């Protein structure tokens, strides 16, 4: 399978814990995006990378959120001191120029 993959698919955590998600993009894609989606809403942009450089971050990305793409391949999104409001689907997408192809998402539930 050469699509975008995300791990884990589901994560349940207690409030205050840290969580980390991983995204493996399509190998030849140099752009990687993170989105958050809550029920009944469209995806909200969080951040994006071109190769290993993080070029833009949304105001939605508070100081508790950090993302990395250390070698321009896979990316991680970490949420520190999780809050119940962080419960959502976290989507990763990759692209070469235009079409973004999405992974299956990581559904986070914060208890």
Cβ-based nearer residue to another protein, 3 or 16: 3
Q: Which of 77, 93, 108, 110 binds another protein (CB under 8 A)?
A: 93
Cβ-based nearer residue to another protein, 20 or 107: 107
With tokens 């793409």, the residue in question is 69
* Bond before 11 cis per omega within 30 degrees: no
Q: Which of 21, 34, 48, 65 binds another protein (CB under 8 A)?
A: 48
Using rule CB under 8 A, residue 74 touches another protein: no
Cβ-based nearer residue to another protein, 80 or 95: 95
CA dihedral sign of residues 20, 57, 28, 3: positive
Interface region with another protein, contact rule CB under 8 A, candidates 19-27, 62-70, 72-80, 86-94: 86-94
C-beta separation of 79 from 90 below 8 A? no
Q: Which of 17, 18, 41, 62 binds another protein (CB under 8 A)?
A: 41
d(C-alpha 111, C-alpha 107), whole Å: 13
What tokens were used for 2? 């050469």
């Amino acid at each position: 399978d050469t699509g975008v993959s995300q791990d884990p698919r589901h994560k349940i955590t207690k409030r205050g814990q840290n969580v980390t998600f991983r995204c493996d993009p399509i190998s030849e894609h140099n752009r990687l995006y993170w989105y958050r989606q809550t029920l009944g809403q469209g995806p909200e942009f969080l951040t994006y990378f071109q190769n290993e450089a993080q070029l833009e971050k949304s105001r939605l990305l508070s100081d508790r959120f950090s993302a990395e793409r250390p070698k321009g391949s896979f990316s991680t999104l970490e949420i520190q001191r999780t809050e119940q409001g962080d419960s959502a689907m976290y989507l990763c997408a990759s692209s070469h120029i235009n079409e973004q192809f999405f992974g299956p998402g990581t559904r986070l539930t914060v208890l």
